[in-house]
Amino acid sequence: MLKEMAKKHLTEKLIPFWEGLRDDRFGGFTGYVSYSLERNEKADKGCILNSRILWFFSNAYTLLKDESLLENAKHAYAFLQKCLDDEFGGIFWSMSYDGKPSDVTKHTYNQAFCIYALSSYYEASGDKRALSQAKSLWRLIEEKCRDEEGYLEAFRRDFSPEKNDKLSENGVEAGRTMNTLLHVFEAYTELYRVSGDSEVKECLYFIFDLFENKIYNPEKRRQEVFFDMDYNTLIDLHSYGHDIETSWLMDRGCDILGDAELTERIHRITDALAREVYERAWHQHSLYAECERGRDDKTRVWWVQAETVLGFINMFKKHPTETMYRDAAEQTFSFIMDKQVDKRDNSEWFWALDDSLEPIEGRPIVEPWKCPYHNGRMCMELIKRL
């Protein structure tokens, strides 16, 4: 039943909404839709948003084999060419509505999502240029965005250091973040899956080591979030959404590598992450956002709910006798359909709900971070896993 509902939601709600944002005049997709569903055709187009849209249509085509999906992926790929910097390499942070560089910051997180998208587009289209571009971005990250201890964060256009304000929150400025590391891992996992490149594989082992020994806090059964350059944590913060997302993404990386000893070690951590989230943060059939200094933020954020469904399904598939995870996944999916999805025509999901489970007015339906990546992936993974 969950599989069928996920397919229906993907094909009847998500795909039509994002197809409707296609910009055939200037390329890419409209970058902003307000809470009141007003489209700003002249809003900047975030490059993370475009990468995620490319990933979405590429994976939807690979799964569903609808040629219109591949055509939308090709459209997103064409706009992505404008986002890439021919002079210094890498992908810009954002473009103007008509395809000119707007914010030329180079962030490792953003480079990673471009790799993620290009790898999926290569799988969908067979276009070897996309794979070549993904490998070039991987080399760029390894050469310019990594030191001996791990991955760096923000840079100016020429890759000289820049403040990490785009991936720092909660009143801190982080030298390293769990979030960037997670999505570099995610991108490299996809690149290795479609290419089989042995050097990319070695990078995955490097990231697993960082995850085990620098990011994961075994005493608190959580990941730390923001760090200085020496991996000292900067704030008492438990990001429930990132932990449940990490639990299944790391497991997927293990599946793709096929290393039994590594899998056993990592599963002990990912099981602990998911269980801690389930016991601490899953309430009223949905997941709280985070806990800062012992105080829960009870906002229900769109992407957190999508990752909760996948994280709990992943746990149930690993541990079939622990049926509470299956039940929690099904109940969270029902919560999403009832509360998180915007029932208005030509809309998608609300960004967030307050503690009364009402939509927070003013939060946009589309903006540089609000995309079809988490909710689209939830649907596609459920179709593939169930």
200-204: list long-range contacts, CB under 8 Å, 24+ apart.
200/138, 201/257, 203/138, 203/142, 204/253, 204/257
| pLDDT recorded at residue 44 | 98
- What's the pLDDT band for 57 if we cut at 50, 70, 90? very high
pLDDT for the residue numbered 252: 98
DSSP helix/strand/coil, 161: strand
Domains of the chain are 2-385 (1.50.10.10)
Q: What share of the chain is helix, strand, coil (3-state, %, to 5)?
A: 55, 15, 30
What confidence tens digit (pLDDT) does each residue in 242-282 have? 999 999 999 999 999 999 999 999 999 999 999 999 999 99
Provide the percentage of residues in the chain whose pLDDT is more than 70: 100
Q: pLDDT tens digit string along 104-144?
A: 999 999 999 999 999 999 999 999 999 999 999 999 999 99
75: Cβ contacts below 8 Å, ≥ 6 apart: 22, 24, 27, 28
pLDDT of 14: 98
pLDDT computed for residue 267 by the predictor = 98
Output the pLDDT for position 236. Answer: 98
For 178-199, how does the pLDDT look when each residue is reduced to its tens digit (9 = 90+)? 999 999 999 999 999 999 999 9
- When pLDDT is averaged across residues 350-374 and rounded to a whole number, the result is 97
- pTM strictly above 0.85: yes
- Per-residue pLDDT of 321-332, as tens digits, reads 999 999 999 999
Q: What is the pLDDT of residue 229?
A: 98
> What value does the mean pLDDT take over residues 300-311?
98
Q: Check residue 52 and give its pLDDT.
A: 98
Q: What percent of the chain has pLDDT over 90?
A: 100
- How many angstroms separate the CA atoms of 380 and 56, rounded? 9
Q: Which phi and psi (to 5°) does residue 222 adopt? A: -150, 165
In the three-class reduction of DSSP (H, G, I as helix; E, B as strand; rest coil), residue 88 is classed as coil
Band (pLDDT 50/70/90 cuts) for residue 296 is: very high
Residue-wise pLDDT tens digits, 8-56: 999 999 999 999 999 999 999 999 999 999 999 999 999 999 999 999 9
Find out whether 116 and 55 touch, Cβ atoms under 8 Å. yes
Looking at residue 268, its pLDDT comes to 98
Mean pLDDT estimate for the chain: 98
CA–CA dist 239, 291 (Å, integer): 7
pLDDT score recorded for residue 141: 98
